[in-house]
Structures are given as structure tokens and as C-alpha cells.
A and B are shown apart, each in its own frame.
With several copies, the nearest count.
Chain A
Amino acid sequence: MPTTMASPSTIETALVANNICKSFGPNEVLHGVSLNVVAGEVHALLGENGAGKSTLVKILSGFEAPSSGALVYEGRDVHWSSAEAENSGVILIHQEFNLAEQLTVEESIFLGREITKGPFLDKVRMRTLAQGYLQALDCYADPSARIHDLAVADKQMVELAKATSRNARVLILDEPTAVLTGKETKVLFELIRRLRAQGVAIIYISHKLEEIEEIADRITILRDGTLVGNYDANELTKDDMARLMVGRELSDLYPHILTPPEDAEIVLEVDNLKIPGVIFNASFSLKKGEILGFAGLVGAGRTALMEAIIGLTQNVSGEVRVFGKPVAYKDLSEARDDGVAYLTKDRKEKGLLLTHGLCPNFSLFSLQKFSNLLIDETAERKAFEAASKVFDLRVGDMSVPAGSLSGGNQQKLLLAKVMEVAPQIVIIDEPTRGIDVGTKSQIYQFIKELAEAGRSVILISSEMTEIIGLSHRVAVMCNGTLSGILQGADLEEHEIMRYASGLKGNGKYE
């Protein structure tokens, strides 16, 4: 841990932003936003998808230059690059990962600040330190493991370790918990509290309002790039926050969903599916019109299981039946043509072509349907415009590449892309990751309609409330084993946790 840590008394306001404006090409996305972060506070930043949160924090940390407006850091005016900002202790953890896939954990943590002994790297030292940083976050990834072999959550932990290893005065976390489950979130919060106590100013962005309620001291709310207001955390209830963000009253988040008839046709059956080393045993079935939730700790094997079912993983044993017909898909197109679609949780690496336009991204998965010999571009565009209404993509200019969309809007684009093939069975992995409350309810509504229209849904989510709120039944995975399927009265948080952690059911954590 950094030793030269400024104590709260020495600094009052750590970082001030005075009516920042930011435009990308023609369209302005921040219209004079001001922010004032005090040392030793957790300052939450709230706003809908596309409100401008990430853009604002990128400006604060020098990754973007403001079009106008000023930054004041510890009394000085600053116009800094990300490197300068980092050296002065303003550190941003990006909403999207910022790690080099081929480097090892240790290399990533010390990149740009390698410790040397004479002219040479002091690997031993860096290794032990890295280990320390990670353990402080009780993450047990091997410092010499390569980033691309890590599970998403571990990647996030590496990002955190990287930040804590630096001498942070202002730590900015852009939706850090989007890829974390409850367990890791707790660890993170402990870290945040510890830093706050040391006088670090923390800017915290999240769409999970209960987290805000738990951790935030002050809250700044943005809407469409303008400042709604700046509040004391205990002034606001979750509903207030939601209302202020969205600008209207929100109906109940989780809609009531009709349960499918007992005798509903079984559309998907999985018997004793196994993948050496990853999935040890999984059997379940899915009814027409049913929403089957999948809960578990990160790394439990849910994604792995689904990827096996839709044919992305080879050397899978066990039997899978779709509409009663045994299948062993060799790639996604076979699954797609059977009406089975999968929505990945890794939108950046597997979901979207970040450098390509929105429309091509949207149609990539369903392209056949717009093509007889040649692609019917008008039909494609029409479909895209329709979909962008349904999923209400908030983009100024439809010609920007997907990578420039706000995190949430990227997620919506991904949803639209997968849904365009009108699947009978849809597997959605973390569908609301990084989605604002307003949009969330839209997506839930959408899932409800899917189910009630007789489609079947498998919902993987690390948000317990979401799982419970939407699912008819919940399958729980524990360390590569499907440890139990809960419904009715059993369908509540603690019971699920028992199965997820191996206290109950046939799943075990050694």
C-alpha cells in the first residue's frame, strides 16, 4: 500500500470540474457539467446509459480533453494527459477493461512502472507485491497467468490491484461491479472504505442503486449530459435516484410474468453434460414459455455450460435435445438455425465489432435473412431502425462505430443483434450488465413478452434480485456442477446462496 498518503485534513477539495462541455464531432454529449470531489468521500455518479458518466470521468482523468471548461486539482488548474493524471494520483478504472491480453497479471499490474534493480527488472519483488495486492482483494489469480486466461471477474480484480498499487489520491471506478458478484462486490467495498479512511477521494459509477445507497456519501446525477443535481446520499432513496436519473416515475421494476402451463412442451433437455475440467455434471430441462434462471458464483461454469450447448465448445459429453431432437451443434449457426440463440456477456471481445458501424453489427448474426444472393441493404436498414426503437438505442448519430456507444447502449445493440433472429430458445448471459434502471425495466418487459409469446428463456445473471424477480425456476451452479433447481418457496436469496456455495446440493468447492 502507498505509504505517502495525504490525510483528509491536508486537502479539502481534491478534484473540481467547472462546467465541462464535450462534443464528439457535431454532437455535444456533455453540456457544462460541474463536479466537486472532496478527499475522503465516496462520490457516486448516476445517470442513464449515454448520460455522459464515462465521458466525464475520462475527462477528469485525462483520457479525453474537454471541449470547454476547466479542471482544478488540489488548487491548480490542470490540462493533463492520462499519464500526468495518473502520476498525480488520479486513477481511472475503465468501464471496459484496459488490459493487454498477452501480458501476465504481474506484468499488467506494473506496466509503465516496473520496479528495477540496477538496469534489470526486479521480478521477484514485483511478483510478491502483485500477489499482495491481489490477496488484499482476496483474488487468487496467479501473477504469472496470462490475462486472456482469466475469468472476467479476475480481470476486474487485476484492474483494481493495478489501481491500488498506484499512489491513488482520486480513484475513479466506472461500473466496477458490472462484472462482479455479491462476494467480490463486498471485497471491493471493504477496499473502498479502507481507501476513504486514508483520505482518498473516490468517484463511483454504477447502475446498481442499492450499491449507491450502501457506499456513497454524495451523489451527482446526470441526465443527457446535463447536471441534474448534487445531493447528500442520505437525502435520497433508491426511488428518488431512479426518478431523478430517468426524469419520470418508474413502474415496478419486475413485471408479473405468467407461469407456463404444467404440461407445456419441453423445448430443451440437457442430460449429464460434461466438459473435462470445467463442467462436471449438468442436467436440466426448459419448458415452452418458461424463464429458467441460472445462478452461481462467477466461474461456476454457467457460461461454459451454455457455450457447450450451443456448440462453441468441443469434446463435450452427455446429451442435448432441442424440441425432442438430439443435437450436437458443431457451431453457432446450426444452433441458430434450430432457433437457439446465445447472447454473450463479453460484448467487447465477443459481442460487437467495435470499429464497425451499428447497422453491420446489428445484422451480422441474422445476415442470411436480409440476403438472397445480394444483401438487401434497405431491408437491413429498416430492420435496424425498427430494432433501435424497440431497444431504444440512444445514439446521436447512427454512423458512429459501435465502440463509441455508451456501455449500456452497446449492450442494447447486442440484445437487438441476437433477438433479430427471433429465436425460440434464447440464452442471455448477464443481459442487463451496465444497463440503467430505466432501460432495465424495458428489457425485463421485453423478456416477459418473449416468454408470454411462447418463447423460452435461459437467464444467466449475477444479480440475485434479477434472477429471483424474473425466473419461473432457478438452476444453481457450483464449481462446474448443476447443484440444484429451485422453484416456488425455495426461490429466495439465501437458499440460492447455499446451493451456489456448495453447502447444499451436489456441487462442492474443494
Chain B
Amino acid sequence: MSSMTTTGVKKTRFNLDLKTIGPFVALIVLFLIGILVNQAFLSTGNLTNILTRSSFIGIIAVGATFVITAGGIDLSVGSMAAFISGCMIVIMNTLAATMEPGIMIVLAGVFASVLLGSAAGFVNGFLTTKGKIEAFIVTLGTMGIYRSLVTYVADGGTLALDRGVRTIYRPVYYDSFFGIPYPVLVFLGVAILGYVLLNKTVFGRHCFAIGSNENVARYSAVHVDRIKTLTYILQGICVSIATIIYVPRLGSASGQTGTLWELEAIAAVIIGGTVLKGGYGRIWGTVVGALILTMIGNILNLTDVISNYLNGTVQGIIIVVAVFLQRGSWRKKK
């Protein structure tokens, strides 16, 4: 793009800024709107709610940032979350039936969750890399598979966590540390780890390289397939972490759990300035993206000026506008 390059050069700086601050600007604007809409928005209660809620999508989106940066996509995260929660509950209930409900059971559940997450991620990664099937299709397939499996396990209904176990597990979602709810802390931890991994390690750099040009990466002795599979496994683990803090919230899972989370996660990633075509990812942007999405929902609940029916419209517009703030920035990535 020669002449584009010319302009490109100046653009770059310009857009890089926009890409960096864009999401934050959007967040701040939303924040102000929130305040205008309803005083209650600023109440600590409400703000903690927003943070805590955003941690599900947020943690998943951190994983998605890796997948997308490396040029992939994962549509299965939502149903994966449902599937993992379902299995966790079944496992913990079976244990609870055999032994005294205790911390051990919860740990067993957590362990199982991480195991399942990595496995599910590996399946996606393996099919994409070794099976050479487009990620979109692989994960579209597994999306349907996981969801129907959980419906099957739940026998069409809802899987409820054993009361005893629940009481032990409950604090993981509801308690907090110096006023900061555990989910938020976990989210923060995941984000920081993600940031370091993506920006400070060889693995992260290889993700960028693969996303930007797979062949060049392969020629530079980068283990393309391994790295790509790893990003999916990472995504799976993030999903499992999200479920670990999700299950104690309502102590239940069903075929409905996590519907459309995949789209929310991807939206969060893109709003955050990551390039969908791969080669450029931003963890902090993703975090902000997740906050934005949660905040939209929250604000809509705090007002009744807009008909409920129009929530989707408002969300849609905000998402598009938020990305519009970074317009052009992804263009030259072609």
C-alpha cells in the first residue's frame, strides 16, 4: 500500500493512540452517562456489582485475546462454560453423596474444571491445526456439541449444586478481600498474567507473529501448530476459571448457561482494540471492553426511559460506536 503507507505512517501513530485510548474514552463516556441516568449508578454496591459481573466475560475475553491475536477464533466458549459448570456440579454432587461435604470436594470440582477446560481447548486447537479445519467451523461445531451435551447431562433441566457443598463454595463468589470481591481479584490476576504472557514472553510474541503471517512464522522456526493449540488451551483454562467463580453464584447450570458469551467475549476483545484478523492484541483493552459491555447492561437496568425491547439497539449502537473510535486503525493490518 505505498501511498497508503505514506499516509499509513502518520496514521499509525495517530491510530495507535486512538487504539490505546479509544476504549478508555468510550468507558468514561459511558460512566458519565451512567451518572446522569441514575445517582444509584455511583453507589459502591452498584460499582462492585459491575466489576464482579464483568469478571466472567472479562476472564474469558482475556483468553480470547490470545486466540484472536494468533489469528484464530473461538465460538465455543459460551457452551464450553455451560458444559464445564455442568460437569463440575455433577462431579461435586457425586462426591458429596459419598463423603462429608468439605473443602476437598470443592477443590476436586475446581481441579476437574481446569482439566476439562484444557481438554476442551485442546480439542479445538487440535482440530484447527492438525485437522486443518477453519477455526470458525471447528468452534461452531463444538459450540453445538458442548451445549447439547450439558442439556443431555442436565436431562433438559437445571443441574443444582448440593446444598452442603454450596454453603462451603458460596464465599468464592460472594465474599471479598478488603472490600474487593474475590471474582474481581481473580479477574485482575488473570488480566495481569495475560498481559505479561502476551507482551513479555516469547509465547506472546509468537502469537503476534502467527497472527500476522503464519508462513513467515513457520519459516522462522516458530512452532505454529503448537502455539496455536496452546492459545486454545489457554482459552479453555480461562473459561474454566470463569466457571469456577460462576458456579458458586447460583450453584446451578443448565443448557442456557453462558448463551452468547462467545459473542460478548469477542466483542469485548475487539472493542478493546485487538485486531480480529490477528497479529495485534491488547489485554488491557480487552479488560476495558468487558467493563464497557457490562456497564451498558447495568445502565439500561438503571433507567426506564428506554423500552426494554430496545436494549439490543442501544447495545448494538454502543458497540459499533466504541469500535468506530478506533476507525481505520485495523485497515493497514491487511
Scan residues 389-414 of chain A and give those whose CB is less than 8 A from a CB of chain B.
400-401, 403-404, 407
Q: Which residues of A contact B332 (CB under 8 A)?
A: 148, 355
A236 to B87, CA, bound (A): 77
In the complex where A103-B208, A365-B221, A367-B205 touch, is A24 in contact with B8 (Cβ < 8 A)?
Answer: no
A64 to B6, CA, bound (A): 9
Q: Could you tell me if A100 and B6 are in contact, using CB atoms closer than 8 angstroms?
A: no
Contact with B along A92-113 (1 / 0, CB 8 A): 0011101111110001000111
Distance of A404 from chain B, by nearest CB (Å): 5
Partner of A119, one of B201, B218, B219: B201
The residue on B at minimum CB distance from A276 is B10
Q: Which residues of A contact B205 (CB under 8 A)?
A: 107, 111, 114, 121, 360, 363-364, 367, 375
Q: Which residues of B contact A374 (CB under 8 A)?
A: 196, 200-201
Chain A binder among B36-44, B58-66, B209-217: B209-217
Is B327 close to A, CB under 8 A? no
Q: Which residues of B contact A331 (CB under 8 A)?
A: 218, 221, 223
Is A124 close to B, CB under 8 A? no
Chain B binder among A192-200, A305-313, A436-444: A305-313
A418 to B109, CA, bound (A): 48
The residue on B at minimum CB distance from A375 is B200
Is B9 close to A, CB under 8 A? yes
Distance of B70 from chain A, by nearest CB (Å): 12
Q: Which residues of A contact B333 (CB under 8 A)?
A: 101-102, 355
Q: Could you tell me if A355 and B8 are in contact, using CB atoms closer than 8 angstroms?
A: yes
Contact with A along B222-241 (1 / 0, CB 8 A): 11000000000000000000
Is A153 close to B, CB under 8 A? no
Scan residues 1-55 of chain B and give those whose CB is less than 8 A from a CB of chain A.
1-10, 12-13
Is A509 close to B, CB under 8 A? no
In the complex where A146-B12, A401-B8 touch, is A96 in contact with B2 (Cβ < 8 A)?
Answer: yes
In the complex where A331-B223, A401-B9, A401-B12 touch, is A352 in contact with B202 (Cβ < 8 A)?
Answer: no
A156 to B196, CA, bound (A): 32
Q: Which residues of B contact A307 (CB under 8 A)?
A: 2-3
Contact with B along A131-158 (1 / 0, CB 8 A): 0000000000000001011010000000
Distance of A110 from chain B, by nearest CB (Å): 8
Is B121 close to A, CB under 8 A? no
A369 to B213, CA, bound (A): 22
Is B182 close to A, CB under 8 A? no
A350 to B220, CA, bound (A): 8
The residue on A at minimum CB distance from B211 is A102
In the complex where A102-B333, A114-B202, A304-B6 touch, is A353 in contact with B209 (Cβ < 8 A)?
Answer: yes
A417 to B275, CA, bound (A): 26
Q: Which residues of B contact A114 (CB under 8 A)?
A: 202, 205
Q: Could you tell me if B201 and A275 are in contact, using CB atoms closer than 8 angstroms?
A: no
Distance of B72 from chain A, by nearest CB (Å): 16
Q: Could you tell me if A86 and B8 are in contact, using CB atoms closer than 8 angstroms?
A: no
Partner of B209, one of A87, A100, A351, A371: A100
Is B280 close to A, CB under 8 A? yes
A183 to B3, CA, bound (A): 24
Distance of B253 from chain A, by nearest CB (Å): 36
Q: Could you tell me if B9 and A400 are in contact, using CB atoms closer than 8 angstroms?
A: yes
Q: Could you tell me if A103 and B223 are in contact, using CB atoms closer than 8 angstroms?
A: no
Is B279 close to A, CB under 8 A? yes
Q: Could you tell me if B216 and A350 are in contact, using CB atoms closer than 8 angstroms?
A: yes
Q: Could you tell me if B1 and A96 are in contact, using CB atoms closer than 8 angstroms?
A: yes
User: What is the number of contacts between chain A and chain B, taking CB atoms within 8 Å?
Assistant: 201
A354 to B9, CA, bound (A): 11
A98 to B201, CA, bound (A): 23
Partner of B217, one of A94, A100, A275, A308: A100
Distance of B80 from chain A, by nearest CB (Å): 28
Interface centre among B8, B216, B279, B332 (most CB of A within 10 A): B216
Is A277 close to B, CB under 8 A? yes
Q: Could you tell me if A312 and B3 are in contact, using CB atoms closer than 8 angstroms?
A: yes
A342 to B220, CA, bound (A): 9
Is A253 close to B, CB under 8 A? no
Is A261 close to B, CB under 8 A? no
Q: Could you tell me if B201 and A355 are in contact, using CB atoms closer than 8 angstroms?
A: no
In the complex where A102-B279, A107-B205, A401-B12 touch, is A350 in contact with B5 (Cβ < 8 A)?
Answer: no
Q: Which residues of A contact B219 (CB under 8 A)?
A: 63, 82-83, 98, 312, 332, 342, 344, 350-351
Q: Could you tell me if A99 and B216 are in contact, using CB atoms closer than 8 angstroms?
A: yes
Q: Could you tell me if B6 and A107 are in contact, using CB atoms closer than 8 angstroms?
A: no
A368 to B223, CA, bound (A): 13
Q: Could you tell me if B208 and A349 are in contact, using CB atoms closer than 8 angstroms?
A: no
In the complex where A349-B216, A371-B201 touch, is A360 in contact with B208 (Cβ < 8 A)?
Answer: yes
Q: Which residues of A contact B206 (CB under 8 A)?
A: 367
Q: Could you tell me if B221 and A332 are in contact, using CB atoms closer than 8 angstroms?
A: yes
A407 to B6, CA, bound (A): 13
Scan residues 416-435 of chain A and give those whose CB is less than 8 A from a CB of chain B.
417
Partner of A354, one of B5, B12, B223: B5
Q: Could you tell me if A313 and B279 are in contact, using CB atoms closer than 8 angstroms?
A: no
In the complex where A100-B217, A336-B221, A364-B209 touch, is A349 in contact with B1 (Cβ < 8 A)?
Answer: yes
Scan residues 177-221 of chain A and give those whose CB is less than 8 A from a CB of chain B.
none
Give 17 A-B contacts (CB < 8 Å), ordered by A residue: A24-B9, A94-B2, A94-B3, A101-B279, A103-B279, A113-B220, A120-B201, A121-B205, A307-B3, A313-B7, A349-B1, A349-B216, A350-B216, A354-B213, A365-B220, A365-B221, A404-B6
Which B residues fall within an 8 A CB radius of A? 1-10, 12-13, 196, 200-202, 205-206, 208-209, 211-213, 215-223, 275, 279-280, 332-333
Which A residues fall within an 8 A CB radius of B? 24-25, 54, 58, 63-64, 82-83, 86-87, 94-96, 98-103, 107, 111-114, 116, 119-121, 146, 148-149, 151, 275, 277-278, 303-304, 307-308, 312-314, 331-333, 335-336, 342, 344, 346, 349-356, 360, 363-365, 367-368, 371, 373-375, 377, 400-401, 403-404, 407, 417
Q: Give 7 A-B pairs besides A100-B217, A277-B10, A364-B222 with Cβ atoms closer than 8 angstroms.
A: A111-B220, A277-B6, A336-B221, A355-B280, A374-B200, A375-B202, A377-B200
Please provide the 8 A-B residue pairs with the shortest distance between their CB atoms, ordered closest to farther.
A403-B5, A112-B220, A100-B213, A102-B212, A313-B3, A102-B279, A83-B221, A332-B221
